[in-house]
Amino acid sequence: MPNFPTRLKELRIKKQVPQQQLADLLGISTRALRFYEDVSREPKIEGLIKLADFFSVTLDYLVGRK
């Protein structure tokens, strides 16, 4: 089962969204977004909600829960 960093990167690539655009949406730096995709950091709940809304997925799906 994919974890959050893997799922986030897969969704971003599938939707062809540059890291800068997604970082701008979240109000974070591209460096912070890279940390999310590299397992070094996790977003706060507000960021998770924005990501789930942006990609039209559930929070459970985004974080790798069934």
Q: Is the pTM of this model over 0.85?
A: yes
Half-sphere exposure of 64 (CA within 13 A, CB side): 10
- CA 2/CA 37 separation, integer angstroms: 12
Instruction: Outline where 1-66 has alpha helix (H).
Output: 4-14, 19-26, 30-37, 45-55, 59-62
* Model pLDDT, residue 1: 67
* Model pLDDT, residue 52: 96
Is residue 47 within 8 A of residue 55, CB to CB? The reply is no
* Model pLDDT, residue 64: 87
pLDDT along the chain (66 residues), means of 10: 89 97 94 92 93 96 88
Is residue 62 within 8 A of residue 52, CB to CB? The reply is yes
